[in-house]
Amino acid sequence: MRTLGRLALGVVLVFALLIAVVLVRTFTFKAPAAADTASVKVAPAVAVDVAAAAQHLSQAVQIQTVSHQDPAENQPAEWARLHDFLAATYPAAHAAMTREIVAANTLVYTWKGSDPSLAPVVLMAHQDVVPVTPGTERDWKHPPFAGEIAEGAVWGRGSIDDKGSLITLFEGAEALAKRGFKPRRTVIIVSGEDEEVRGLGARAAAALLKSRGIKAQFVVDEGLAVIADNPVTGGRLALIGTAEKGYATLVVTAKAQGGHSSAPPADGGGVVTLARAVTAIAGHGFPMAFSGPGAEMLRTLAPRAAFPVRMAVANAWLFKPLLIKQIGATPAGAALLHTTIAPTMLKGSPKENVLPQDATAWINYRISPADSSASVMARAKAAVGGLPVALSWVAKPEEPSPVSSTRSDGWKVLSAVAGQVTGAPVAPSLVTAGTDSRYLQGVAADVYRFQPMEFSLSDTEMIHGTNEHLTLKNLEQCVQFYARLIATAAG
Ligand SMILES: [Zn+2]
């Protein structure tokens, strides 16, 4: 009895100690990315003529710089129209900056700073837009290329992605140039022509900047935004992408005998082999890990989150499996924590009564910063084992980007301006799609992805979808953001 009693007391003490440790850690937990932005003096607000800015965005939407899958369908004259429109609409900015055109239609503007010892900043926004899916034109409340201003918003394809950024960036630059702003630090604007398809323009711009030996302080491009109803705190949150995932598509081919389907082989033929291979690859998913920018977002937000979230994040050593389970419960949450595997296309024989001579599947991967195309291929090979299939990439994979700092001066400036202009807490996160900024990695160590627009989670469906529109409130916020970012970083 006495021994048992001692044992019970020991267990209770250990538990009490554990609870004490968990509670102390919870209440003393500090966000890691609470980089001290107090030292950043954010430039004051500028006067914004919202009606004029809305007109300008409307005009830009009407210029149909549509990037089709087949470039032969593009209308190159529309890009030239957009260039002329920018030059005519923003004369002060154009007088202050030099403009170069690289690739076919990519714009590189340089606003020379007075102090050549300061590293330049690079701001990006692409010119092209995705097509409107045929058959959905009539679903739009306002036609996709009319640029109608209605219901407190500018409507149309590109009003957010990414003419919303391009136009408000120029509005901000024009406002500063008009009042005689002279940057101390050089400001470079890069506007790619084909972000939605191949990013050749951004690559050419990056090559030009590299050839000049430019090492920028930081780059800001599209990617993430302010989310009004983020699931972590339930409130507003300005998310800045510190990394973006890689992109690769694996082609899986099962070679087979072919022939008449009335006498199939015992193993079922190429389609069965292919199905086995796809099932094996998709079933051999990458484990989710509480690490990288997705985890840093949670660590940053934990002090503002409800007690259980705060406790779990502060004691990740104990609750990591629980955290992963919770975040990974939704597809969007899971995408933050690992490389995703999505089989998307299948091809068998051309006729229902013909056995295929080869059956093919396409599997799209979004590669986490912790992985690489090589580790993806190795995992797929291991998954298919001895199955008679060939694996290859449909095109050269895009590797994931490096993770940018949340301690650097660039981060401090960007997060201070984003926080001031939007009034929302700022946190780093991972961009699960791709942007032109991936090609600028060699130009700056710190590449950030942020559009100062506020959306609810359901709003984000209109980007690349139907009824894309930018509210006038967002429009004004974007102009403020770009003007104040330039004035703060370069002033
Ligand atoms: Zn875009």
The DSSP output letter for 461 is G
CA of 59 to the centre of ligand 1 (A): 18
Mean pLDDT across 420-432: 95
**Contact at 8 Å (CB) between 151 and 54?**
no
Ligand 1 centroid to Cα of residue 465, in Å, is 12
* 187 Cα: distance to centroid of ligand 1 (angstroms): 21
Q: What is the Cα–Cα distance from 43 to 41, expressed in whole angstroms?
A: 6
Cβ atoms of 88 and 170 within 8 Å: the answer is: no
Ligand 1 centroid–CA 42 distance in Å is 27
Q: Specify the 3-state DSSP secondary structure of 236.
A: coil
Task: Please give the span between the terminal C-alpha atoms of the chain, in angstroms, as a whole number.
Answer: 77
Give the β-pairing of 469-471 and 153-155: antiparallel
Taking the centre of ligand 1 as the mean of its atom positions, its distance from the CA of residue 194, in whole angstroms, is 10
Provide mean pLDDT across the span 408-437. 95
- 8 Å CB contact between 237 and 424: yes
Q: What is the pLDDT of residues 66-102, one digit of tens each?
A: 999 888 999 999 999 999 999 999 999 999 999 999 9
Banded pLDDT at 7 (limits 50, 70, 90): confident
Q: Work out the pLDDT band at 28, boundaries 50, 70, 90.
A: confident
Ligand 1: centre distance to CA 468 (Å): 12
**Residue pair 483/187 in contact by the 8 Å Cβ criterion:** no
Which pLDDT band, with edges at 50, 70 and 90, does 267 fall under?
confident
What integer pLDDT is reported at residue 34 of this predicted model? 58
* 319 Cα: distance to centroid of ligand 1 (angstroms): 36
Cβ distance 144 to 454 under 8 Å? no
**CA 161 to CA 125: how far, in whole Å?**
9
3-state DSSP assignment of residue 440: helix
Number of H helices and E strands in the chain, helices first, is 14, 19
For residue 29, the model assigns a pLDDT of 81
CA of 137 to the centre of ligand 1 (A): 20
CA of 221 to the centre of ligand 1 (A): 9
pLDDT for residue 316:
87
Structure confidence at residue 25 (pLDDT) = 82
The reported pLDDT for the residue numbered 6 is 83
- Tens of pLDDT, residue by residue over 141-195, are 999 999 999 999 999 999 999 999 999 999 999 999 999 999 999 999 999 999 9
- Ligand 1 centre distance from Cα of residue 280 (Å): 34
Say what the pLDDT of residue 21 is. 82
Query: What is the 5 CA–ligand 1 centroid distance (Å)?
Result: 66
The span from the CA of 279 to the CA of 258, in Å, is: 22
Question: Residue 391, Cβ neighbours under 10 Å: how many?
Answer: 16
238: CA distance to ligand 1 center in Å?
Answer: 18
> What one-character-per-residue DSSP string does 380-403 give?
HHHHHTT-SEEEEESSPPBPPPPP
Neighbours of 165 (CB within 10 A): 27
Q: Tell me which of 391 and 318 has the higher pLDDT.
A: 391
CA dist 420 and 416 (Å) reads 6
Which stretch, 214-228, 258-272, 295-309, has highest mean pLDDT? 214-228
In the reported structure, the alpha carbon of residue 211 is separated from the centroid of ligand 1 by a whole-number distance in angstroms of: 26
Q: Separation of 435 CA from ligand 1 center, angstroms?
A: 7
The Å distance, Cα 96 to ligand 1 centre, comes to 27
Distance 150 CA to ligand 1 centre (A): 23
Contacts of 440 (CB under 8 A, 6+ apart): 122, 124, 190, 202, 205, 206, 209, 216, 219, 221, 447
Output the CA 166–ligand 1 centroid distance in Å.
Answer: 10
Instruction: State in Å: Cα 162 to ligand 1 middle.
Output: 5
Residue with tokens 């900056």: 97
Q: How far apart are CA 355 and CA 470, in angstroms?
A: 51
pLDDT of residue 1: 58
- When pLDDT is averaged across residues 444-448 and rounded to a whole number, the result is 96
Per-residue tokens: 109: 């503007």
Average pLDDT over all residues of the chain = 94
Rounded distance from Cα 472 to ligand 1 centre (Å): 19
What's the CA-to-centroid distance between 123 and ligand 1, angstroms? 14
- pLDDT at residue 87, rounded to an integer: 98
- What is the full DSSP assignment across 127-180? --BPPPPTT-GGG-SS-TTT--EETTEEESTTTTTTHHHHHHHHHHHHHHHHTT
Q: Report helix, strand or coil for 54.
A: helix
How far apart, in whole angstroms, are the C-alpha atoms of residue 256 and residue 121?
55
Q: What are the two backbone dihedrals, phi and then psi, of residue 4, each rounded to the nearest 5 degrees?
A: -60, -45
Please tell me the distance between residue 161's alpha carbon and the centre of ligand 1 in angstroms: 5
- Identify the band that residue 220 occupies on the pLDDT scale cut at 50, 70 and 90: very high
CA atoms of 372 and 385, how far apart (whole Å): 20
The model's confidence at residue 272, banded by pLDDT at 50, 70 and 90, is very high
CA 276 – ligand 1 centroid, Å: 36
Q: Tell me the pLDDT tens digit for each residue of 355-406.
A: 999 999 999 999 999 999 999 999 999 999 999 999 999 999 999 999 999 9
Q: How far is the CA of 196 from the centre of ligand 1 (A)?
A: 7
Secondary structure letter of residue 466 according to DSSP? S
Q: Which amino acid is at 404?
A: S
Amino acid at 291: S
Q: Give me the pLDDT at residue 374, please.
A: 98
Return the number of other C-beta atoms located less than 10 Å from residue 339's C-beta. 24
- Return the structure tokens found at 442: 């060699």
Q: How far is the CA of 160 from the centre of ligand 1 (A)?
A: 8
| CA 436 to ligand 1 centroid distance, Å | 8
- Å from CA of 433 to ligand 1 middle: 10
- CB-CB contact of 185 with 121 (8 Å): yes
Contacts of 205 (CB under 8 A, 6+ apart): 102, 103, 106, 108, 190, 192, 439, 440
Tell me if the bond preceding 162 is cis, omega within 30° of 0. Answer: yes
The pTM of the full predicted model, rounded to 2 decimals, is: 0.91
